[in-house]
């Protein structure tokens, strides 16, 4: 994807320690198909990570769920604060969800967590 539509490495949570910091110090949102965590990290930039276990399904299903999560984040990241770290942990119910369901649920998560205006 060209230019600003990409999901660059600097916006990804990649290390276990980063995920654990969000889990331990952040706030939590529990949805039907995922659990969302977020924390404000001043000066570290906006970042997102996702975790999808084998309980969700086979490799094809897990990869589809991760693509949907990353795409929703990528489309709506400009509305998020610059200093937030977000982790989305998929639950087994996520396997049957379409992209539209993911988009509305994650947008609800952003609004409930007061991460996005409107």
Domain ranges of the chain: 8-112
Whole-number pLDDT of residue 43 = 86
Question: What CATH architecture is 8-112?
Answer: 2-Layer Sandwich (3.30)
What are the residue ranges in the chain where pLDDT is below 70?
1-4, 117-118
Please name the residues in contact with 17: beta carbons below 8 A apart, sequence gap of 6 or more: none
CA atoms of 29 and 88, how far apart (whole Å):
9
- pLDDT at res. 1: 45
The secondary structure of residue 2, as a DSSP letter, is -
**pTM, 2 dp:** 0.89
Neighbour tally for 102: CB within 10 Å: 22
pLDDT of residue 4: 63
Backbone CA torsion sign across 80, 14, 88, 102: positive
Contact 15, 86 (CB under 8 A): no
The pLDDT value recorded for residue 51 is 96
**pLDDT value for 8:** 84
pLDDT of residue 6: 79
């Amino acid at each position: 994807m060209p230019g600003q539509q990409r999901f660059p490495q600097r916006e990804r949570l990649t290390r276990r320690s980063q995920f654990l910091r969000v889990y331990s110090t952040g706030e939590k949102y529990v949805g039907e198909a995922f659990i969302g965590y977020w924390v404000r990290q001043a000066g570290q930039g906006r970042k997102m990570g996702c975790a999808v276990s084998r309980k969700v399904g086979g490799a094809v299903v897990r990869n589809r769920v991760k693509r949907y999560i990353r795409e929703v984040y990528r489309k709506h990241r400009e509305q998020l604060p610059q200093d937030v770290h977000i982790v989305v942990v998929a639950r087994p119910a996520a396997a049957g969800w379409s992209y539209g369901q993911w988009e509305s649920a994650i947008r609800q998560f952003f609004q409930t967590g007061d991460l996005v205006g409107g």
